[in-house]
Amino acid sequence: MVSFDDLAFFYIVAEKGSFLRASEYTNVSHVTLQRRISALEQSLGKKLFIRSTTGLNKTAFANELITNTKNYYDELTQYFKKFEVIEESITENKPIKLFLSSGMSYFFLDAIYPKLIDKMDLKIEITTYTSKFMELNIDQMRSMINEYDCIFIEGDYQHIITDTRWSVVSQKSGVFQFFASQAYLEKHGEINSLSDLKKHNSLYLNTGFKEYLEVFEKSPLAKESAQDKKQIIQVQGNFSSDIIEHLLDLISRDYGVGMLPDFYINSALKKPLKQVLPRYYGKMHQVFCLKNTLSNNPQINRFVKIFKEAIAEI
């Protein structure tokens, strides 16, 4: 059976002439688009595109498919444009349902929500999760995930999201690095090597090892692979959490040395911290905000627009 979503993706890829341009237009990754086109080709039993040095070339069948579906596609496009206008005119203040990690809910309420309510009359319902809950309840997550209008999710858990129902609103990525307050370092001494960490209280996100962390000499964001530069270090600490804000708060209160995403420091910190061990990095940390493209909430499009503006201001 042919998916209408995949047919729409095909039409856009054919119109834009490349997966990359289609990805920029749809906010869907080019990898996902390629996978959906492959699924469509399997459903139809026909090849749609042939790659060449100049880009994508449509097959004869693809041109025939475009001709036969163009009128229907244009009619649907015009219909949905009218439908969006009708939705925007609805005055019902229906709550926007968000699904966020516990840490992201702190960030959302502190940095984003005040900017949103300044610009629109808004009701928010937040459901939170922790990383450990996600790991233990993947099947449950898959069954409930589409009940939400918008999701903030760490990159490690992207696999629970269905491909065609969600589009990326914003994304952020960085690497974990070590931070401490100046007051803590003045009291307990500077940290110049990994072995120095054994003398300090380490504050870290929950891991499977509990007593160990993996670090790299090169940033995982670098082009070269950092896997051959990995080191395992023992941590001496009495506090770990699934919630980054807990660690951020304790580091700011001079309780110890913590690993935090570098981008998170810039967006959420109210007290300056000092980066230590600049030659060592934790694994890359990614956060995505995804919009439910099938949401029936009349305010979701305006919410997303203001959210993107608020993120840009931070």
197, 211: one domain: yes
215, 275: one domain: yes
pLDDT at res. 91: 47
Query: DSSP assignment, residue 210?
Result: S
Under-50 pLDDT residues of the chain: 83-91, 226
Q: How many domains does the chain have?
A: 3
Quick one: tokens of 268?
Answer: 């959420």
Q: Is 274 helix (H, G, I), strand (E, B) or coil?
A: strand
pLDDT digits (tens, 9 = 90+) for 212-225: 778 888 877 666 55
139, 216: one domain: no
Residue 267: how many other CB atoms lie within 10 Å: 14
Q: For residue 180, what is the domain's CATH number?
A: 3.40.190.290
Domain termination residue (choose one: 89, 118, 145): 89
Q: Which structural domain range is residue 77 located in? A: 4-89
Q: Do 196 and 240 contact (CB within 8 A), yes or no? A: no
pTM of the model: 0.61
In a domain, 154, yes or no: yes
pLDDT at res. 149: 93
First to last CA, the chain: 45
**Distance between CA atoms of 293 and 167, rounded to whole angstroms?**
7
Query: DSSP assignment, residue 293?
Result: T
Residue 124: how many other CB atoms lie within 10 Å: 16
In a domain, 169, yes or no: no
156, 305: one domain: yes
Four-CA torsion 161, 225, 52, 65, nearest 10 degrees: 0
Is the C-alpha dihedral spanning 65, 71, 75, 81 positive or negative? positive
